[in-house]
Structure 1
């Protein structure tokens, strides 16, 4: 029997410091998030970050917390419900971090008789700290607890024409009647070394090529696992789909941590620069996330707007993630049903 497991990032159980600390500890100790030797990661996370950051992060979570709970969890559950309404297959939801574990999602499906699972990481682009860590953990869970279960993972869909159409239509809908001057595509940042580590050719990706990004534009097998290329492709493809004029949209990266170089340009500095250069009406979309969360609702919609206004900007528009948009639900449901049919024919 076939079934589907949707997997998103996760969230603390509450915006209280103790729950935030527990969540951050699990998240930041993942070797694919902070990819340094265990001793160094332990020293950084448990010796420094968890002694300073939970209270600050808890304040941020409290700003965006809904009555129903964590926005990311609530929106993911709505997405799951929408897909379940369009599919005859059991659809479960798990989180990579936090109490709504992937293990619980697998168990829910297996308890219903599922032995063939389509794993859907809810990230359009591949990255070590998102897609890869989900796929790796899923395989570990399967080997240890469900060795007879088959898993097929949905590949990154960043350049799928139907996804680009859904994303573009959502952007256009939320910008209708808005005479913005510039549309900024802000993606979650990763350390530059992640790009080098993901380069299967060991020679193509040059993350420090911050201006021209020639490697991102040059066809290569490396692009299958290059987060930077895939982000830039989403920006380019959406720009083409919406017939946007060159210079009226661009790409940036947010949420850096530590002192190592991360993908550039940085979103906060880009917002500041544009305001200082005279841009009065700025719109921002965050296509690395499919569900609104702390990074979109607080870091962009609150902190980003504050930065923009401080340097003279006037109108700051944040475009929601796809969340449970009906067209996105339809698309994921179509991919699921296509997988089920193809698997049935093959079998």
Structure 2
């Protein structure tokens, strides 16, 4: 069997034009693992409401963070792909779950190079229905329909792998070196609470009650909340952070259903009002900077903090195409490709 790897990230509109943004949002929000309601309700919500109101606002947000070369998330992912390719001896493909750089194209490119055994690497440290799961389910559907002779395997969530914790901790330490901050906030992408319960393979463990994530369980293999809290815990340990000097929050909620709490925007506001003048924020649910980190956190978050009296708001970049991070991904690829 000829081996190859497909790195998969979230995706991006082709441009900041509202039409392109609308097309992208339509694909993203109609995914039943993103908005997991019956099809009729999803159509009503997405096509009847969101796509008539949100594209212009989202396009303006993308406009603020767009690079000359294009979408930051795409450009950064391509840079990472290039670096990993240079450190490995098998084909390294790149695809996005949503948008024109789709998974079918990514698998086709590997197929055209004679690859029959593919390792899918979802570029998300923590498992979630709306990230890892939707990638793997779609990849298998595409394989069955178009590449029946291809075999797929995947890299499990790496939220607690020592080498990942090491590189993330080092990146945070370097970014905050010589920075004066009183509190470090770990902000993860939010998901509805029901996603946590749906992903519970025990069907009984996840109660989101403050204790279940700390009680050993098979459910943790697919529990996004547990994995986020564990990432924070491991990094705090590695950086010797004092109790009370760091915390975890969740950003980017949508709709009226309960999402994971505490919410990032309200946490930032609360910190500023409580007298904290200097805070730092890191976003470990993402390995590549994107709209959620560059605009929602670095711009909107800072604005909230200043409005309530805060002074310095320091944003830690994602791992992006950091050399150490590229080396770790390459090591995972090489370990897999060396297996019989």
TM-score clears 0.5: yes
Q: Does 1:287 align with 2:284?
A: yes
Aligned counterpart, 1:122 = 123
Do residues 4 (structure 1) and 1 (structure 2) align?
no
- How much has 1:314 moved relative to structure 2? 0.2
- Report the alpha carbon displacement of residue 179 of structure 1 after superposing the two structures with TM: 1.8
1:140 is displaced (CA, Å) by 0.3
Which residue of the partner structure matches residue 144 of structure 2?
143
Runs of 4+ in 1 over 6 A off after TM superposition: none
Is 1:263 aligned to residue 263 of structure 2? no
1:134-188 per-residue CA deviation (whole Å, 9 max, x = no partner) reads 0000100110000110111000000001100000000000000112100000000
Count, aligned residues: 339
Classify the secondary structure of the residue corresponding to 1:105.
helix
In the superposition, the TM-score normalised over structure 1's length comes to 0.97
Distance in 2 (CA, whole Å) between partners of 1:82 and 1:279 is 40
Q: Residue deviations 1:258-317, cap 9 Å, x none?
A: 000100000000000000000000000000000000000000000000000000000000
Equivalent position of 1:232 in the other structure: 229
SS of equivalent residue, structure 2 residue 338: helix
The answer for unaligned runs of 5 or more in structure 2 is: none
Residue 113 of structure 2 corresponds to 112
Q: Distance in 1 between matches of 2:149 and 2:14?
A: 32
1:154 corresponds in structure 2 to 155
Instruction: Specify which of 215, 218, 239 is matched with residue 215 of structure 2.
Output: 218
Offset at 1:206?
A: 1.4
* Inter-partner Cα distance in structure 1 for 2:274 and 2:105: 50
Aligned to 1:27: 28
Cα deviation, 1:51-82, whole Å, max 9, x if unaligned, reads 00000000000000000000000000000000
Aligned-partner SS, 1:265 = coil
Offset of residue 17 of structure 1: 0.4
SS of match in other structure, 1:251: strand
